[in-house]
């Protein structure tokens, strides 16, 4: 899967899991402020992404903020291709 | 910890450890709690658990799993207490205590039935953990705390209602099971019910919490009387042991914790779990004030922290990885 395809799939999943109901989302959308994600739905989204992209243990991975949909796209693309 | 106008301790109050005055001398009598019970009746039929079924089916897996786990723990605790509390009624020190405790037996039956009905009719479970008899495997309370409480109630029977044995069971039932574990579970589960618009669950948990406030108040008053009679050290030791066990229940080293790979989600999950532990720790320490043992708060807090650390070591030994809370703490 190319990074473009990964990004598109990430946006689709993020959009499907918006707490108020599925919607189309853009790279610049902020998860909490714009899309209404909270701690529970953030964790749920992360677990779905793990399964979708077969993410493995990330020992040593630096903590970073996932503020926007684009942040997730970038992170997942890096991790998915690193495996 | 809030003491209401009629001096009942609010089990869902989540103020800081040193909140509120130590007003245990004004805690109500068993008769006053009996009168309050008559005025605070509720019914499962009126709650109508079926109205949550549609909302429950729309929950995503993580939220559903979190809520289900909490409800299963509450169901196991309530069923166990409903099966065994009558031993404390039989051996109550006075008729006034016996009459009050009889109301509590009725409450616990209603609570057990509420959680079972909810799990059957709203969640859609065919069998609850208690009904399937798998509490040793499927419940942290069943695994770690129930054996201790069962031994304590057996001891009350074996010793023909020995006062010390009876008070030990009161501390374990009322102060630890209800005042620490159930209170923390009710608080966090009710927040989730509100967040996910599970109206029947929110209403039912509110009713249960109101009942538990009376139960806790009774236990605090009974224990305070024992402390005032010169039994401070043995009471503290019983309470400390129960609280240490409660910490192990919350860490639950026998169950693999949800640990997201994405670090921000892992941090969020660890924060959720830590908040639950902290709330329970705060409750445990605050109760010391109301039973006349405020001067032992540092000792109890240290015992709690050490118990959590031991349980997390046990978790690491069981699973070959550190507990998410430990992972995040190390990288903080």
Place of tokens 């007003």: B23
What pLDDT score does A66 carry?
81
Non-local CB neighbours of B83 within 8 Å, separated by 6+ positions = none
Residue A1 at interface with chain B, using a CB cutoff of 8 Å: no
The packing angle between helices B95-117 and B61-84, to 10°, is: 150
CA-angle at B212, arms to B209 and B217, nearest 5°: 130
What pLDDT score does A1 carry?
77
What is the C-alpha to C-alpha distance for residues B326 and B181, in angstroms, rounded to an integer? Answer: 21
B73: helix, strand or coil: helix
Put simply, the chain A residues between 35 and 64 with a CB less than 8 A from any chain B CB are 38-47, 49-50, 55-58, 61-64
Residue B278 at interface with chain A, using a CB cutoff of 8 Å: no
Distance from CA of A60 to the nearest CA of B (A): 10
Q: Which among B63, B261, B267 has CB closest to A40?
A: B63
Burial label for B242, CB within 10 Å (0-12, 13-18, 19+), is buried
The packing angle between helices B183-195 and B263-290, to 10°, is: 130
Partners of residue B249 on adjacent β-strands? none
Mutant choice from B66, B261, B329 vs A, greatest count of A C-beta within 10 A:
B261
Taking only the tens place, the pLDDT of each residue in A23-77 is: 999 999 999 999 999 888 889 999 999 889 888 765 545 556 788 999 999 888 8
Burial label for B51, CB within 10 Å (0-12, 13-18, 19+), is middle
Q: Which among A38, A55, A66 has CB closest to B261?
A: A55
Closest CA to B143 of B248, B288, B20, B266: B248
Is the Cβ pair A64, B263 closer than 8 Å? yes
Q: Which among A43, A50, A61 has CB closest to B263?
A: A61
What is the C-alpha to C-alpha distance for residues A46 and B10, in angstroms, rounded to an integer? Answer: 36
Q: Which among B192, B258, B261 has CB closest to A57?
A: B261
What is the C-alpha to C-alpha distance for residues B308 and B210, in angstroms, rounded to an integer? Answer: 29
**A-B contacts at Cβ under 8 angstroms:** 62
What pLDDT score does B22 carry?
45
What pLDDT score does B21 carry?
41
Closest CA to B69 of B255, B199, B248: B255
The interface pTM score, or ipTM, of the predicted complex is 0.79
What pLDDT score does B129 carry?
85
Provide the 10 A C-beta neighbour count for residue A27: 14
What is the C-alpha to C-alpha distance for residues B216 and B222, in angstroms, rounded to an integer? Answer: 10
CA-angle at B215, arms to B142 and B9, nearest 5°: 120
Taking only the tens place, the pLDDT of each residue in A10-32 is: 999 999 999 888 999 999 999 99
**Which two structure tokens, joined as six digits, stand for B266?**
């892992």
What is the C-alpha to C-alpha distance for residues B214 and B212, in angstroms, rounded to an integer? Answer: 5
Partners of residue B3 on adjacent β-strands? B9
Is the Cβ pair A44, B269 closer than 8 Å? no
Provide the 10 A C-beta neighbour count for residue A20: 7
* Segments in chain B forming alpha helices (H): 30-39, 44-47, 53-58, 61-84, 86-90, 95-117, 129-132, 135-138, 140, 146-158, 163-170, 183-195, 199-226, 232-251, 263-290, 297-319, 324-330
What is the C-alpha to C-alpha distance for residues B109 and B115, in angstroms, rounded to an integer? Answer: 10
What pLDDT score does A62 carry?
52
**Residue pLDDT tens, chain B, 332 long:** 555 556 788 877 766 555 544 444 578 999 999 999 999 999 999 999 999 999 999 898 888 998 999 999 999 999 999 999 999 999 999 999 999 999 999 999 999 999 999 999 999 988 888 888 887 778 999 999 999 999 999 999 999 999 999 999 999 999 999 999 999 999 999 999 998 899 999 999 999 999 999 999 999 999 999 999 999 999 999 999 999 999 999 999 999 998 888 888 899 899 999 999 999 999 999 999 999 999 999 999 999 999 999 999 999 999 999 999 999 998 77
């Amino acid at each position: 899967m190319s990074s473009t395809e990964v990004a598109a799939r990430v946006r689709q999943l993020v959009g499907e899991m918006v707490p108020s109901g599925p919607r189309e989302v853009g790279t610049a959308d902020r998860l909490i402020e714009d899309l209404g994600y909270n701690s529970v739905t953030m964790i749920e989204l992360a677990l779905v992404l793990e399964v979708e992209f077969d993410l493995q243990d990330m020992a040593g991975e630096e903590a970073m903020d996932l503020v926007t949909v684009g942040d997730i796209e970038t992170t997942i693309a890096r991790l998915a291709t690193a495996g | 910890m809030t003491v209401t106008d009629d001096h009942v301790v609010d089990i869902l109050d989540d103020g800081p450890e040193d909140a509120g005055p130590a007003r245990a001398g004004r805690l109500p009598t068993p008769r006053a709690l009996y009168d309050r019970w008559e005025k605070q009746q509720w019914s499962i039929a009126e709650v109508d658990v079926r109205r949550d079924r549609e909302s429950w089916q729309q929950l995503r897996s993580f939220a559903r799993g979190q809520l289900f786990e909490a409800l299963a723990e509450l169901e196991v605790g309530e069923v166990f207490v409903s099966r065994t509390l009558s031993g404390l009624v039989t051996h109550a020190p006075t008729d006034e205590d016996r009459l009050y405790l009889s109301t509590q037996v009725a409450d616990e039956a209603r609570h057990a039935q509420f959680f079972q009905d909810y799990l059957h009719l709203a969640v859609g479970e065919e069998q609850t953990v208690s009904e399937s008899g798998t509490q040793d495997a499927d419940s942290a309370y069943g695994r770690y705390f129930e054996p201790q409480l069962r031994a304590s109630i057996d001891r009350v029977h074996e010793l023909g209602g020995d006062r010390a044995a009876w008070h030990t069971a009161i501390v374990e039932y009322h102060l630890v099971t209800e005042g620490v574990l159930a209170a923390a579970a009710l608080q966090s589960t009710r927040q989730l019910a509100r967040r996910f618009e599970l109206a029947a669950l929110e209403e039912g948990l509110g009713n249960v919490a109101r009942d538990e406030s009376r139960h806790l108040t009774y236990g605090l008053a009974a224990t305070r009387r024992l402390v005032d009679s010169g039994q401070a050290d043995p009471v503290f030791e019983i309470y400390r042991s129960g609280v240490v066990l409660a910490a192990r229940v919350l860490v639950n080293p026998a169950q693999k914790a949800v640990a997201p790979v994405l670090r921000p989600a892992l941090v969020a999950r660890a924060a959720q779990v830590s908040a639950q532990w902290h709330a329970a720790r705060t409750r445990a320490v605050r109760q010391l004030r109301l039973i006349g043992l405020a001067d032992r708060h540092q000792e109890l807090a240290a015992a709690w922290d050490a118990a959590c650390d031991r349980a997390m070591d046990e978790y690491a030994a069981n699973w070959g990885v550190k507990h998410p809370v430990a992972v995040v703490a190390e990288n903080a």
